[in-house]
Chain A
Amino acid sequence: MGAKKWIAMLLAGGQGSRLGELTIGLAKPAVPFGGKYRIIDFPLSNCTHSGIDTVGVLTQYQPLILNDYVGNGKAWDLDLDVGGVSVLPPYQGKEGGEWYKGTANAVYQNIQYIDNYDPEHVLILSGDHIYKMDYSKMLDYHVEKNAEATIAVIQVPWQEASRFGIMNTNNDDKITQFDEKPKYPKSNLASMGVYLFNWKKLRQYLINDEKDADSSNDFGSNIIPKMLEDRKKLYAYRFNDYWKDVGTVESLWQAHMDLLEEKPNFQLDDQQWKIFARNANHPPQYISANAEVSQSLINEGCMIHGNIEHSVLSYNVQVGNGSTIKDSVIMPNVTIGENVHIERSIIASNCIIEDGAVVGNSAVTADITLIGENQTIINPNKKKITLN
């Protein structure tokens, strides 16, 4: 097998427990986003547009839907004879097997897969962020800096910096220090979970890390700090475009609302950088004579008889007469009856909201209401319907 310039390893095994009921039966990267996509479509489409033709997708938690979705990679033009997409779950070898203990261990367990391609560089990606990024520019930067590792960073608001892995750099953006979720951040350059390594270097670090019984086998907590300790050349690659961690119900909802701006910072309909997805096959959406739709994103397969205001509707959503959906995200195959009121909510796939039901709290201070998959919401007070 000929050597590859670079390949990507996509960490898609996370449970995403902060997404609550959304990830009971689903790995976080498989969570629907933007009306027709799943979160993993964003890094996979980035790979395609950046000219990466080999992607290992590391899965672990609830892999069924994710594995099925990624398939042979054809939606992202990654169905190749040599390379393409490979789904890599934990496996048993001669000496037994184990679950992926951490992000670094997940890659360690797949050293053989990477060695097959003998790449010069390995790009490590996480499967839970919404962004469009040309990784090839990062590679150019990495090569130009003669770096041993390059970490993509984005400036986050100072008050949020303590939620992220924070880079402290010198004037040249050379990383001098890495603080994982620091209480008192010294900078607001947050790691985007996008790492580019020279494979030979990384390989050695992974092997050493595995021998260290005290390590949690994680890139952010172990590999990066160890490399810094060894005075390796690590550089921060600044990214100035839209990037959103959609790891919480609130941020997932907010990222959807961002799409509804008149000139959104993140455009799904960018013809130069299409987001590829496994397309479910549905007819065009039907907007009935009684419907009203404003400031919304609606996908194919929907039949709308009610009022949709400032919301995102995924495919095959049915909305009955007299219903109102406001400031909400409706995931695939949801059936909404008549005279339903939904506000500031996320309704997961396959839910049924019966006639007259009310979901969500309109108060801006209230939490976003989340209805998990396959739920049926009934109207507790069927005779009396008040909407206020």
Chain B
Amino acid sequence: MESVLGIINLINEKQHLKELTAHRNVASVPFGGRYRLIDFTMSNFINADVSKVAVFPKEKYLSVMDHLGSGKEWNLDRRSGGLFILPPIHPDETVTGDMKQFYDHLSFFERAAADTVIISPGCHVSKLDFNEVLAYHKKHDADITVVYKDYVGEVIEKPIYHTCSVDSNEDISDISFYTIPRPGDHVCLETFVISKSLLVNLIKSCVASGEYDFLKDAVKANLHRFTVKGYNFTGDMPFIHSIESFHSSNMNFLKPSVIRSFFGDTWDVYTKIKHEAPTKYSRSSSVTNSLIANGCDIEGTVENSILFRGVKVKKGAIVRNSIIMQKGEIEEGAIVENTITDKEVKITKEKTVIGSEQPAVIKKAEVI
């Protein structure tokens, strides 16, 4: 079997999730009741038998280090291969681009016993089969394969996605940066397959000429020189680019069909183990249409909501259309609607927090 090196590239993260990314990077944002965004990419790598994975964080990466630990939940605590976290090595310098950070860890690439490298960001909630992408890459004898997905979802206001043009030959013919995609436009998922030797050459040559961006300087600049193929990912994947889309794509997981498509038939999504007890429902609890992780203690009412691990909802409290992250506490008589509470938030007795179409967001560990 050819050996593949997995790179989770967090250097180009865009901080669109406001309060949720105040203390953490995007990849560490909690999602779906017990996961963090990076769990999906990590699990995709594991499912494709990629046993050497390096994470390149840029900033606020304590939570990602804490979450991934030794990598044992993803079976990456290995003697050979395993998990590597490779943060910037010059903490005082601003990171100029992903290629610069790759260059600073060049020996890691050079030493890795791999022929092929898959680069992916850590924020896509998807089950992308990397084996299929690899097979596509090989079949077309591509130098670089770019994974894209046709945009679905509401109209975006901010130009945040890069889109690509794909010709009839499935070649990438152009890449446009920071566009506002309309439904059906090919959004570049910043996920690539490339041979290790080509990647190493590009890192060296780009950095030598003061170019630091992989997509711009290594891919787009070489579209006519290399065979750059486009792989169209047609599986489920919410586009998360704002608090609203974060809220709505979480809520989408309240559909049994979505739960099944992500957690049912194919591979598992792994996350850090917390050893929480099963969730306890009391005599007075009333819970409907909700996704609830372990370790919760529910005495009140929960409707259309997602509760992360260890959340307490006391008697008479009401939680509606909300996302309550780990160890949240909703005290007696409190009402929480259309709200996202970050970890360890406490809504005290009889208090009311109601968001509008734009969900209210309560910062980590805040007491309301």
A-side residues, CB < 8 A to B, are 34-36, 74, 262, 268-269, 274-277, 279, 281-300, 303, 308, 312-313
Are B281 and A294 within 8 A (Cβ)? yes
* Chain A contacts for B293, CB-based, 8 A: 284-285, 300
Tell which of A279, A283, A295, A303 touches B282, judged by Cβ atoms closer than 8 Å: A295
Question: Which of these binds chain A: B100-108, B283-291, B346-354?
Answer: B283-291
Nearest CB on B from A207, distance (A): 40
Judge whether B34 is part of the interface by a CB distance below 8 angstroms.
yes
Question: Which of these binds chain A: B54-62, B83-91, B265-273, B335-343?
Answer: B265-273
Contacts A284-B292, A286-B259: A297 and B279 contacting too (C-beta < 8 A)?
yes
Task: State in angstroms the CA–CA spacing of A294 and B282 once bound together.
Answer: 5
Are B279 and A289 within 8 A (Cβ)? no
Are B285 and A293 within 8 A (Cβ)? yes
Judge whether B224 is part of the interface by a CB distance below 8 angstroms.
no
Nearest CB on A from B305, distance (A): 10
* Chain B contacts for A290, CB-based, 8 A: 288
Known A-B contacts: A284-B294, A300-B293. Give 14 more (CB < 8 A): A274-B275, A283-B32, A283-B33, A283-B34, A284-B34, A285-B279, A293-B285, A297-B277, A297-B278, A297-B280, A298-B279, A299-B279, A300-B294, A312-B278
Are B281 and A296 within 8 A (Cβ)? yes
B-side residues, CB < 8 A to A, are 32-34, 72, 254, 256, 259, 262-263, 268-271, 273, 275-295, 297, 306-307
Which among A262, A285, A297, A303 has the highest number of chain B CB atoms within 10 Å?
A: A285
Tell which of A34, A275, A283 touches B259, judged by Cβ atoms closer than 8 Å: A283
Task: State in angstroms the CA–CA spacing of A295 and B268 once bound together.
Answer: 30
- Can you name 14 A-B pairs with beta carbons within 8 Å? A34-B277, A269-B276, A269-B277, A269-B295, A275-B277, A283-B291, A284-B293, A291-B288, A294-B285, A295-B281, A295-B283, A297-B279, A298-B292, A300-B34
Contacts A285-B292, A289-B289, A294-B283: A34 and B278 contacting too (C-beta < 8 A)?
yes
Nearest CB on B from A261, distance (A): 10
* Chain A contacts for B273, CB-based, 8 A: 279
Task: State in angstroms the CA–CA spacing of A308 and B280 once bound together.
Answer: 12
Task: State in angstroms the CA–CA spacing of A276 and B276 once bound together.
Answer: 9
* Chain A contacts for B33, CB-based, 8 A: 283-284
Nearest CB on A from B254, distance (A): 7
Nearest CB on A from B195, distance (A): 33
* Chain A contacts for B292, CB-based, 8 A: 284-287, 298
Task: State in angstroms the CA–CA spacing of A12 and B200 once bound together.
Answer: 55
* Chain B contacts for A276, CB-based, 8 A: 275
Are A289 and B288 within 8 A (Cβ)? yes
* Chain B contacts for A282, CB-based, 8 A: 263
Are B288 and A298 within 8 A (Cβ)? no
Nearest CB on A from B42, distance (A): 12
* Chain A contacts for B72, CB-based, 8 A: 74
* Chain B contacts for A313, CB-based, 8 A: 278
* Chain B contacts for A300, CB-based, 8 A: 34, 278, 293-294
Nearest CB on A from B267, distance (A): 10
* Chain A contacts for B275, CB-based, 8 A: 274-277, 279
* Chain B contacts for A298, CB-based, 8 A: 278-279, 281, 292
Task: State in angstroms the CA–CA spacing of A279 and B295 once bound together.
Answer: 13
Residue in chain B with minimal CB distance to A289? B289
Task: State in angstroms the CA–CA spacing of A303 and B270 once bound together.
Answer: 19
Tell which of A35, A262, A283, A292 touches B278, judged by Cβ atoms closer than 8 Å: A35
Tell which of B269, B280, B288 touches A269, judged by Cβ atoms closer than 8 Å: B280
Are A268 and B259 within 8 A (Cβ)? no
Are A288 and B289 within 8 A (Cβ)? yes
